Amino acid sequence: MAYVLTLWVALTALLGQQGPAVPNKAAQQGEQVRAVKVVHQRRGPQYVVPGQSTEAEVRIQKDIWTLDEFSFLPPRLINVDIPGRGRKLVWYMVYRVVNRSDQPRRFVPLFTLKTDTGRVYRDVVIPKARWVIQATEDPLTPLRDSVTISGILPPSKEEGVEHAAYGVAMWLDVDPKTDAFSIYVRGLSNGFKVIEDPASGKRIVLRKELELKFARPGDEFNPTSKEIRFIEAQWVYR
C-alpha cells in the first residue's frame, strides 16, 4: 500500500496551484498563508503549507529562512499498548518536510499541542506507538520521531531530486474535553524577534512557528479521528 508515497508526489505537483486563502492573524506578518488541500480516497484531506519570509522579516533579519514545504495529515487517534504504561490513546500527526532552497538547512522540530481547555502538551517519543502508526499509515514509508528526524535537511533544488523527510509527532493524555486545538510547529524557520517583557522589563526571544488550527466537535467518551478537521494556518512568533 504505497498510497502515502503516491499522495506526497501529488501534493508536490499541486504546490504550483493556488489553494484556499488562509488568513494570517499575526500582526507581525500581515500576509496570508495559502494551504493546498488534496482529498485522498482512503485517508481523507491532506494539506500543504508553503514556507514564506516576508519583506518586513528580511529587513529585520537578513539571514532569515523558512523551509519551503510542510505537508501534513490532520491529527489522528490510535490506541496503543505501551510497555510499562498500559493501553493509551495516542494523538499523532504524520508530516513531510522538504527544503527546496539551494542551501542545506538544520531541521530540529518541536511540536506543541495547545487545547481550548488551557492544556499544553509537548510531543513525545514513543517507539512502540511509532511502529504501530507506521504499519497503519504505510509500511513502505519510514516515519521518524522528533529525535531521529532531527539533522541537516539537504536541498531539493534540482528537477527530479527530492530529499523529503517523513515524520510523526505524538502526544499522550490529551484532554478528552478538547473541542478545538492548535499545533505549533517550531523548526521550520530560523526566524526570531527580541521583545521586552512588559511585566519584568527583561528581553524575550520569540521564535517563528507555524500554527495549525483544528476543530474537534464530538463525544469526549468516544473520540475518533473523523471528528478532527483542519481550520487554518498562520505563521506566528511565540
Q: What is the pLDDT of residues 96-113, one digit of tens each?
A: 999 999 899 999 999 999
pLDDT, average across residues 117-141: 94
Q: What is the pLDDT of residue 36?
A: 75
How far apart are the C-alpha atoms of 49 and 73, rounded to whole Å?
11
Rounded distance, CA 25 to CA 110, Å?
22
Residues with Cβ within 8 Å of residue 100, at least 6 apart in sequence: 68, 69, 155, 156, 157
Average pLDDT, the chain: 83
Q: What mean pLDDT is predicted for residues 111-137?
A: 96
Q: To the nearest whole percent, how much of the chain has pLDDT over 90? A: 62
Closest residue by Cα to residue 109 from 135, 75, 64, 70 = 70
Q: What was the pLDDT predicted at 11?
A: 38
Give the per-residue pLDDT at 22.
Answer: 35
Model confidence pLDDT, tens digit, residues 132-150: 999 998 888 899 999 999 9
C-alpha cell at 71: 505537508
Percent of the residues in the chain that have a pLDDT greater than 70, as a whole number: 78
Backbone Cα Rg of the chain: 18
Q: Which residue has the higher pLDDT, 26 or 171?
A: 171
Q: Check residue 40 and give its pLDDT.
A: 56
pLDDT computed for residue 221 by the predictor: 61
Domain regions of the chain by residue span: 3-237
Grid coordinates of 9? 508526489
Predicted pLDDT of residue 35: 72
Instruction: Examine the pLDDT at 17 and tell me if it is beyond 80.
Output: no
pLDDT in tens, 148-195: 999 999 998 777 667 899 999 999 999 999 999 999 999 999 999 999
pLDDT beyond 80 at 46? yes
Which pLDDT band, with edges at 50, 70 and 90, does 219 fall under? Answer: low
Number of H helices, E strands in the chain: 3, 16
Confidence of residue 123 (pLDDT cuts 50, 70, 90): very high
